């Protein structure tokens, strides 16, 4: 492939306009002038480079990529009809797919092209008459490849939107496989581009998704909005609701978006607010256990109202149009800096800075808020890299089996379709081990010449559309309105509660910020009617995002904690509080090293652990000794620790050896062992005992 010429980066607006004769008016005429990211990205894309556009939210990144990609395609087909589909756009969530379609379908239409979406919620998919531009999610893209691969052969360009939201996740690993498969399938290798919010190590992100030759466009004059915050003490849900109500009373036309880290907290705060006269009828709840129709109702109602409060989990962090939000409230510190930026970014979108109210329960939470805001304003995100997940190899093997009209697949064919870094980590022999595990799980069976075909168990997953996702299925019980038959959402029913309902108990449950009285349970569904007060629901406890080692270490520096020091405080109950600031996984590993030294730990957080005995006065040992302890720990508890790395769907069928290899590839155990070997234990006297 000939080397591409470097694009000129000093073009003025008139010169760039001349490069876009067919798309300028459609995409940019209604704006006063081009944004910085658009001025720099357009020439690079027209020159044929794979480009990652790195710029803050609402900076025009999507248009900066789509317009020149379409211009290039239209110019290449001057005088002939552009074969569809020509451009595939992959967005992380269904909400972002809908938002992109809302913003792009009109300018794409003005170019004489058709744009459509395909998601699990909505599909304009017609394989015999595909659109020129398809906007979809990773799961729906996987479904397209498995079910209608030939339709995608004319593809000439691919764009991945908000790619930073996919990085270091199972879905990100899946997308990277899909890009490899689309490149092999297409008649001509597609040009690949991606859009990302401002992140550190953006070059590494570009290499993962677009390849080593990708160009990163990150304008130096594109500035991020600063976060301005207030903190307020709120020990309970009632106090949090009172703070939100006080904020709402400051203006009768104020929209407030409050974020909680758990679905249970969403329900508790929303139910408390709904019972306050000042907000009656203006309180909404939004989270993943609500039915899709209920979430859409909330989104439309909150968008239409000029005044109200919506309490949500991360489901409203991005992409869903809920109108202008006057103030964002955080009910607890988010798990990382990226999440903080996404949440506070929903408010004051047209202002140069964003304001947020942070509610904390104790001094540590207040300090965490202060630190996260400081990191956000410095654009220090502290990513936590994870190696390519072997569970995605299982998912991709099933998808490739369906893509092949002959219905068979070999381990080598799977290996050839992994991204380059995954091919280096996982050998063809490892792919064969994955196939053997899938055979033992009843998903596939060998036929001849080292090839495998699907069993009925995998065929059922295909018919249900359940094989295209890397996200675990939910074991929650569906809740149905007994009057209308409409699904309200789902809850997690403990076995005792399920048994009591079967024996005639009729509890009331809070779901969607409203009370629901149980009337019956049949066909594994819970039927309810509206009621007044209600007890809290339980929801599936999804694994919280891990607190990274680097973020925890920076938090220690922020607090003035001495470097390479582990501080130990006796408690009044005779236990020991051990401050280490090693992050979620580091805390687990330290607990195991202490256990080897005869010290049992009871509770672990990313910053500390509670030990039954006084830790050893001497060091934990030499680096080789600690490393051997860590390796023995992982050999026994690799699945528990692996869950913190979010292994994705199908991980339960993988052999132990592959999971162990993946965890070791994701964690730098020798460096961590050296860090613990250098650590100094500092003991405070009983006069400093924690209550």
Q: What is the mean pLDDT of residues 209-213?
A: 94
Decide: 87 and 136 in contact? Cβ < 8 Å: no
Q: What angle do CA 346, 347, 350 make, to 5 degrees?
A: 105
Low-confidence winner among 54-58, 139-143, 427-431, 533-537 (lowest mean pLDDT): 533-537
For residue 637, the model assigns a pLDDT of 85
d(CA 97, CA 218): 24
Q: Are strands 576-579 and 608-611 parallel, antiparallel or unpaired?
A: antiparallel
Q: How far is CA 621 from CA 222, 420, 618, 632, 684, in A?
A: 49, 38, 8, 15, 22
For residue 670, the model assigns a pLDDT of 95
Phi, psi of 149 (to 5 degrees): -60, -35
Phi, psi of 211 (to 5 degrees): 105, 165
User: Reading across the β-sheet that carries 452-454, which strands appear in turn?
Assistant: 408-409, 452-454, 444-446
d(CA 310, CA 395): 36
Task: Fill in the DSSP letter of residue 544.
Answer: P
Beta bridge mates, 535: 509
Does residue 319 register a pLDDT over 70? no
Decide: 7 and 49 in contact? Cβ < 8 Å: yes
Name which of 580, 577, 581, 579 is nearest 547 in CA terms.
Answer: 581
For residue 490, the model assigns a pLDDT of 83
For residue 655, the model assigns a pLDDT of 92
Which two three-digit tokens encode residue 508? 């009331």
d(CA 208, CA 222): 24
Q: Work out the percent of the chain whose per-residue pLDDT is above 90.
A: 56
Decide: 638 and 379 in contact? Cβ < 8 Å: no
Q: Are strands 508-511 and 283-286 parallel, antiparallel or unpaired?
A: unpaired
pLDDT band at 69 (very low <50, low <70, confident <90, very high): very high
Beta bridge mates, 353: 226
For residue 532, the model assigns a pLDDT of 65
d(CA 294, CA 291): 5
Tell me how far apart the terminal alpha carbons of the chain are, to the nearest angstrom.
68
If one counts every other C-beta atom within 10 angstroms of the C-beta of residue 481, the result is 17
For residue 5, the model assigns a pLDDT of 56
For 385-415, the pLDDT digits (tens) are 899 999 999 999 999 999 999 999 999 999 9
Q: What is the mean pLDDT of residues 95-108?
A: 90
d(CA 539, CA 402): 34
For residue 611, the model assigns a pLDDT of 94
Q: What is the mean pLDDT of residues 373-396?
A: 91
Q: What is the mean pLDDT of residues 156-174?
A: 93
d(CA 215, CA 203): 8
pLDDT band at 691 (very low <50, low <70, confident <90, very high): very low
Q: What is the mean pLDDT of residues 204-228?
A: 85
Strand, coil or helix: 521: strand
In terms of pLDDT, which residue wins out, 478 or 594? 594
111: Cβ–Cβ under 8 A, 6 or more apart, which residues?
22, 23, 26, 70, 74
CA 324 and chain centroid, separation:
23
- Output the average pLDDT for the chain: 88
d(CA 487, CA 466): 20
Name which of 47, 49, 138 is nearest 97 in CA terms.
Answer: 138
pLDDT band at 116 (very low <50, low <70, confident <90, very high): very high
Task: Fill in the DSSP letter of residue 534.
Answer: -
For residue 274, the model assigns a pLDDT of 87
Does residue 618 register a pLDDT over 80? no
Name which of 197, 478, 137 is nearest 317 in CA terms.
Answer: 197
Phi, psi of 283 (to 5 degrees): -115, 135
Task: Fill in the DSSP letter of residue 92.
Answer: S
207: Cβ–Cβ under 8 A, 6 or more apart, which residues?
214
DSSP string computed for 361-404 = SSHHHHHHHHHHHHHHHTT-------PPPHHHHHHHHHHHHHHS
Q: Give the CA diameter of the chain.
A: 85
Domains in the chain: ranges and CATH? 13-217 (3.40.50.300), 226-377 (3.40.50.300), 390-464 (1.10.10.10), 477-531 (no CATH), 549-688 (no CATH)
d(CA 25, CA 67): 10
Name which of 377, 446, 460 is nearest 408 in CA terms.
Answer: 446
Does residue 563 register a pLDDT over 60? yes
If one counts every other C-beta atom within 10 angstroms of the C-beta of residue 21, the result is 11
Does residue 378 register a pLDDT over 60? yes
Q: Which helix (H) or strand (E) holds 577?
A: strand 576-579
Which two three-digit tokens encode residue 438? 């899938």
For residue 544, the model assigns a pLDDT of 62
For residue 509, the model assigns a pLDDT of 80
For residue 606, the model assigns a pLDDT of 94
pLDDT band at 79 (very low <50, low <70, confident <90, very high): low
Q: What is the mean pLDDT of residues 439-464?
A: 94
Does residue 581 register a pLDDT over 90? yes
Strand positions, DSSP E, 482-546: 487-491, 508-511, 514-522, 525-531
Which two three-digit tokens encode residue 290? 């609500």
For 231-265, the pLDDT digits (tens) are 999 999 999 999 999 998 887 668 999 999 988 89
Q: What is the mean pLDDT of residues 620-636?
A: 91
For residue 1, the model assigns a pLDDT of 41
Does residue 686 register a pLDDT over 60? no
Low-confidence winner among 59-68, 526-535, 592-601 (lowest mean pLDDT): 526-535
Q: How far is CA 45 from CA 71, 180, 183, 452, in A?
A: 10, 20, 18, 41
Q: What is the mean pLDDT of residues 516-530?
A: 82
Name which of 381, 357, 378 is nearest 369 in CA terms.
Answer: 357
Task: Fill in the DSSP letter of residue 347.
Answer: B
Strand, coil or helix: 74: helix
Does residue 689 register a pLDDT over 50? no
Burial class (CB in 10 A: 0-12, 13-18, 19+), 15: exposed
Decide: 558 and 550 in contact? Cβ < 8 Å: no
For residue 192, the model assigns a pLDDT of 97
For 265-301, the pLDDT digits (tens) are 999 999 899 888 778 889 999 988 888 888 888 988 9
Decide: 90 and 101 in contact? Cβ < 8 Å: no
Burial class (CB in 10 A: 0-12, 13-18, 19+), 366: middle
Does residue 222 register a pLDDT over 60? no
Q: Work out the percent of the chain whose per-residue pLDDT is above 70.
A: 93
Task: Fill in the DSSP letter of residue 442.
Answer: T
Does residue 4 register a pLDDT over 70? no
Name which of 117, 96, 140, 118 is nearest 469 in CA terms.
Answer: 140
Which two three-digit tokens encode residue 679? 């650590």
542: Cβ–Cβ under 8 A, 6 or more apart, which residues?
none
Does residue 582 register a pLDDT over 90? yes
Strand, coil or helix: 327: strand
Q: What is the mean pLDDT of residues 215-219?
A: 90
Burial class (CB in 10 A: 0-12, 13-18, 19+), 526: buried
Does residue 690 register a pLDDT over 50? no
d(CA 49, CA 209): 14
d(CA 285, CA 271): 9
Burial class (CB in 10 A: 0-12, 13-18, 19+), 369: buried
Does residue 351 register a pLDDT over 70? no
């Amino acid at each position: 492939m000939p080397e591409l010429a470097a694009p000129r980066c000093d073009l003025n607006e008139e010169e760039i306009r001349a490069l876009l004769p067919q798309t300028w008016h459609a995409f940019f005429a209604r704006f006063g002038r081009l944004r910085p990211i658009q001025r720099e990205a357009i020439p690079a894309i027209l020159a044929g480079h794979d480009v990652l556009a790195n710029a803050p939210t609402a900076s025009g990144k999507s248009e900066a990529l789509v317009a020149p990609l379409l211009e290039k395609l239209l110019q290449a087909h001057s005088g002939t009809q552009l074969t569809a589909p020509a451009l595939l756009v992959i967005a992380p969530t269904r909400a972002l797919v809908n938002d992109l379609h809302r913003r792009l379908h009109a300018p794409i239409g003005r170019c004489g092209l058709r744009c459509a979406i395909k998601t699990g919620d909505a599909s304009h998919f017609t394989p015999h008459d595909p659109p020129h531009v398809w906007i979809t999610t990773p799961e729906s893209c996987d479904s397209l490849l498995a079910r209608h691969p030939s339709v995608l052969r004319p593809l000439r360009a691919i764009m991945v939107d908000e790619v930073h939201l996919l990085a270091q996740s199972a879905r990100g690993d899946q997308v990277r496989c899909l890009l490899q498969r689309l490149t092999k399938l297409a008649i001509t290798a597609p040009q690949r581009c991606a859009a990302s919010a401002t992140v550190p190590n953006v070059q590494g992100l570009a290499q993962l998704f677009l390849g080593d030759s990708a160009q990163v466009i990150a304008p130096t004059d594109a500035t991020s909005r600063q976060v301005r915050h207030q903190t307020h003490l709120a020990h309970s849900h009632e106090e949090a609701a009172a703070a939100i109500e006080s904020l709402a009373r400051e203006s009768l036309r104020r929209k407030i978006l409050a974020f909680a880290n758990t679905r249970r907290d969403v329900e508790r705060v929303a139910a408390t607010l709904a019972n306050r006269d000042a907000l009656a009828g203006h309180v909404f709840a939004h989270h993943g256990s609500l039915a899709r129709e209920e979430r859409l109702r909330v989104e439309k109602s909150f968008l239409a109202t000029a005044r109200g409060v919506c309490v949500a989990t991360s489901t409203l962090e991005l992409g869903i149009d809920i109108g202008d939000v006057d103030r964002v409230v955080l009910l607890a510190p988010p798990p990382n800096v990226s999440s903080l930026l996404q949440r506070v970014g929903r408010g004051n979108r047209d202002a140069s800075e964003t304001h947020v109210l942070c509610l904390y329960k104790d001094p540590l939470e207040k300090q965490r808020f202060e630190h996260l805001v400081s990191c956000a304003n410095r654009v220090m995100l502290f990513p936590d890299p994870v190696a390519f997940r072997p569970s995605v190899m299982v998912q991709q093997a099933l998808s490739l089996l369906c893509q092949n009209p002959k219905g068979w697949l070999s381990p080598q064919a799977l290996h050839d379709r992994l991204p380059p870094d995954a091919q280096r980590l996982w050998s063809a022999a490892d792919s064969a081990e994955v196939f053997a595990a899938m055979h033992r799980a009843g998903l596939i069976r060998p036929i001849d010449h080292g090839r495998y075909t699907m069993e009925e168990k995998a065929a059922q997953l295909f018919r249900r559309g359940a094989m295209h996702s890397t996200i675990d299925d939910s074991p929650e019980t569906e809740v149905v309105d007994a009057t209308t038959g409409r699904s309200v959402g789902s809850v997690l029913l403990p076995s005792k509660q399920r048994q009591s309902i079967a024996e005639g108990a009729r509890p009331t449950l809070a779901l969607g910020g409203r009370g629901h009285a149980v009337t019956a349970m049949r066909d594994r569904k819970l039927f309810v009617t509206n009621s007044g007060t209600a007890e809290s629901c339980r929801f599936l406890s999804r694994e919280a995002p891990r607190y990274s080692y680097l973020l925890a270490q920076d938090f220690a520096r922020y607090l003035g904690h001495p470097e390479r020091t582990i501080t130990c405080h006796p408690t009044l109950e005779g236990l020991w509080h051990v401050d280490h600031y090693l992050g979620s996984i580091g805390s687990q590993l330290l607990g195991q090293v202490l256990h080897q030294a005869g010290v049992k730990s009871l509770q672990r957080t990313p910053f500390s652990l509670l030990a039954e005995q006084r830790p050893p006065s001497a060091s934990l040992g030499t680096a080789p000794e600690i490393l051997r302890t860590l390796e023995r720990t992982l050999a026994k508890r690799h699945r528990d620790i692996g869950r913190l790395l979010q292994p994705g769907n199908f991980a339960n069928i993988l052999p132990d050896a592959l999971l162990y290899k993946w965890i070791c590839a994701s964690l730098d155990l020798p460096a961590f062992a050296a860090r613990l070997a250098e650590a100094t234990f500092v003991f405070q006297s009983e006069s400093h005992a924690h209550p």
